[in-house]
Amino acid sequence: MDYRSVPIVECGEPLVPIPPGRFAFWEPHPYAAFGAPYQGASPWRLRQGVLAALAGAARALEARAPGWKLRLFDAWRPVEVQAFMVWREFRRQAARHGRTLDGIAGPEDLAGRDPEFHALLAATVFTFWGMPSLDPKTPPPHSTGAAVDLTLEDADGREADMGCPIDETTERAFPDHYAGAADAGLRAIHSRRELLHAVMASAGFTRHRHEWWHFSLGDQMAALADGQPFAVYGRAPVR
């Protein structure tokens, strides 16, 4: 079942700023650094209930690993930013196949010109990235304000080694990629991924099945994974 088919019964919670102090933040924001079109809006926002849950996850982490913090990579993402990043990923994937997409306006243009190559790239891109839909029934997860990408920061302020960078589009991104590894260092990576999962799950979050860093609560993806009849967060009302 496609998570986008899950109905949405919007709860109406506001999108609120993520306060500094309790969390570490990726600076500069990675997508803003790429020139993504935020139009002056801050990406460091979540739905009110999601932010409360994230604070609970931070407390759970502190209890299990004193001094450690959740380091936030991305939170709310306008659909325009989703489209920008998806097309950037299409171009990156094309380069891996030895091709450029110069002169092509976007995924739909590519599909019209070269449907086979579009399908090849889309199979990888949309394993990891949500489709940048403007349809209120099918918002990208981050556009709901109910999804967050994050990692761990140790007590010395260093980013934990999680086995691959956030947004890598290979099997190394799969949460259980290092499970059962013979090498002790790789097993330690899996343990850190499991620590992140455990503290987020304790606060009610659901992990993306292909990304160790992506967690959501109450959106379509989480509702499907949790067996809920509907999502409570649609595309976030931006005020």
Task: Name the CATH topology of 3-226.
Answer: Muramoyl-pentapeptide Carboxypeptidase; domain 2 (3.30.1380)
146 vs 142: CA distance, rounded Å: 6
pLDDT digits (tens, 9 = 90+) for 147-183: 999 999 999 999 999 999 999 999 999 999 999 999 9
Whether the predicted pLDDT of 239 surpasses 70: no
What is the phi-psi region of residue 237: left when phi exceeds 0, alpha when psi lies from -120 to 50, beta otherwise?
Answer: beta
Grade residue 24 by pLDDT with cuts at 50, 70 and 90: very high
How do the domains of the chain map onto residue ranges?
Answer: 3-226
Out of 13, 89, 153, 211, the active site residue is: 211
CA distance 219 to 146: 6
- What is the reported pLDDT for 87? 98
Active site residue 211: yes
CA–CA separation, 187 vs 74, rounded Å? 26
pLDDT of residue 238: 77
